[in-house]
């Protein structure tokens, strides 16, 4: 008896391996994928503008990286004792404008350099809704009608919510990706849609939003070369299809659901030799995170010695892996 709908997308024609550099942008689900890839020792950058939910915000961020944009104080606004950027997550905000600018501009410059030799761009779209400033908002280098990436808990009457059309989504992302490829023609793109429900917009509105993202992603996949779709949304909504796979808020997929999606991602994106290497790496990472009850015991010293030797052997086989954390820990430093 079958208890799940089958979903077996064709694997990537060019699998990802540990020598390929990856830039990830998008919603909070991006960070689940990014954290796993980081733990598996892939070279990557993750959400250099912070979490971004809308495709228009992602496109603007990509344009910043391509042009190595330099933000100035006129691009910031002051609210609740902090200086913020409308295009960045609040993790960039600070009480002094020069601190906000330093964080913003350092991140953009690092990403601009990274993109020159990046192999993959992974974009996770969260919502088709955007928020535009009204005439009640002020500052930050924007005018009424301009869209923001983050509302920074400003008053609701500062914003007008709007659902982007499929044409707007497709046009914004297509233009940004093509601009990136003028300086890095070999850049491949993976698109995915977050299974996180945006119920603050309403259940019906969330479904309509996701539908527009799905259609836009299909068009991008058809129009752009080396552009692929990983069905994270469908794995949670259609394959798991049960509220027990969500946290108590019934919005965010829980640990079991996330692990299931990551397992499917591994099958989709990696060849067998890469998956085997990930298993070896994961064993060392798990050992490094092991809680030690008696750190001075002979057994623990032997544990460190054994795993240091295993790490050294793995490093010798794959010199391009960054195993510095494991080598430092197992050497007792």
What would the pLDDT profile of 91-106 be if each residue is shown by its tens digit? Answer: 999 999 999 999 999 9
Mean pLDDT, rounded, of the chain: 94
Residues 115 and 153 placed together within one structural domain of the fold: yes
Banded pLDDT at 169 (limits 50, 70, 90): very high
Q: What is the tens place of the pLDDT at every residue in 189-230?
A: 999 999 998 888 889 999 999 999 999 999 999 999 999 999
What residues contact 93, with CB distance under 8 A and at least 6 apart?
Answer: 82, 83, 84, 85, 100, 152
What is the residue range of 294's domain?
271-333
Residues 120 and 185 placed together within one structural domain of the fold: yes
What is the value of pTM for the model shown?
0.94
Instruction: Report the half-sphere exposure of 333 (CA within 13 A, side-chain side).
Output: 7
Q: What is the tens place of the pLDDT at every residue in 258-314?
A: 999 999 999 999 999 999 999 999 999 999 998 888 888 999 999 999 999 999 999
Q: Any idea how long the chain is?
A: 333
Residues 305 and 291 placed together within one structural domain of the fold: yes
- Residue 193 covered by a domain: yes
Domain containing 171 — which CATH number? 3.40.50
Residues 220 and 276 placed together within one structural domain of the fold: no
**Overall domain count for the chain:** 2
Q: What is the tens place of the pLDDT at every residue in 319-333?
A: 999 999 999 999 986
Q: Which two tokens stand for residue 105?
A: 């501009």
């Amino acid at each position: 008896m079958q208890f799940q709908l089958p979903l077996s997308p064709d694997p990537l024609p060019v699998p990802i391996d540990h020598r390929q550099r990856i830039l990830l942008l998008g919603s909070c689900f991006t960070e689940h994928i990014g954290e796993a890839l980081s733990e598996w020792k892939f070279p990557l950058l993750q959400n250099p503008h912070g979490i971004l939910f809308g495709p228009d915000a992602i496109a603007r961020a990509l344009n910043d990286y391509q042009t190595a944009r330099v933000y100035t104080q006129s691009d910031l606004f002051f609210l609740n004792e902090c200086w913020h950027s409308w295009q960045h997550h609040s993790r960039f905000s600070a009480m002094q404008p020069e601190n906000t600018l330093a964080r913003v501009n350092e991140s953009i410059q690092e990403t601009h350099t990274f993109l020159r030799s990046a192999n993959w761009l992974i974009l996770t779209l969260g919502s088709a809704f955007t928020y535009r400033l009204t005439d009640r908002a002020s500052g930050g280098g924007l005018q009424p009608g301009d869209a923001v990436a983050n509302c920074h808990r400003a008053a609701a009457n500062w914003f007008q919510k709007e659902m982007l059309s499929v044409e707007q989504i497709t046009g914004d992302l297509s233009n940004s990706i093509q601009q990136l490829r003028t300086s890095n023609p070999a850049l491949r793109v993976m698109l995915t849609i977050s299974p996180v429900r945006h119920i603050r917009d309403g259940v019906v509105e969330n479904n309509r939003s996701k539908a527009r993202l799905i259609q836009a992603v299909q068009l991008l996949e058809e129009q752009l070369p080396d552009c692929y779709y990983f069905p994270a949304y469908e794995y949670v909504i259609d394959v798991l299809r049960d509220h027990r796979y969500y946290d108590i808020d019934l919005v965010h997929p829980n640990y079991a659901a996330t692990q299931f999606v990551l397992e499917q991602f591994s099958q989709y994106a990696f060849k067998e030799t890469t998956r085997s290497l990930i298993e070896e790496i994961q064993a060392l990472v798990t050992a490094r995170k092991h809680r030690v009850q008696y750190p001075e015991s002979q057994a623990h010293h032997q544990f460190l010695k054994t795993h240091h030797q295993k790490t050294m052997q793995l490093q010798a086989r794959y010199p391009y892996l960054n195993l510095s954390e494991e080598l430092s820990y197992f050497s007792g430093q």
